[in-house]
Amino acid sequence: MNLSTHFPVSFSRYSIDFIQQEARHLVDRGVISRQQPISSLCDYIPPREWIWVEHELEKFEYLLRDRIGDLISSETWSND
């Protein structure tokens, strides 16, 4: 089933960039680890809005069983 026919993207405030940023923030704070599945994020997003997150992840071919580290792997490191 294609969710975009039922849920217009314009209603979603959960862009992939926003999801990655929030996941990175939770990892940086030590709330979740990079090894946990992406589905762990559902504990930090209101249940009624989780469908939008799932839709956005699906659009970018992420699976809920994929690791948080896969989602935020585009991190850049600076030399100190």
Residue 37's domain spans which residues? 13-71
Whether 29 is covered by a domain: the verdict is: yes
Count of domains in the chain? 1
Whether 35 is covered by a domain: the verdict is: yes
The confidence score (pLDDT) of residue 14 equals 85
Whether 76 is covered by a domain: the verdict is: no
- 3-state secondary structure string, the chain? CCHHHCCCHHHCCCCHHHHHHHHHHHHHCCCCCCCCEHHHHHHHCCHHHHHHHHHHHHHCCCCCCCEHHHHCCCCCCCCC
Instruction: Note the pLDDT tens digit of each residue in 10-55.
Output: 445 789 999 999 999 999 999 999 999 999 999 998 889 899 999 9
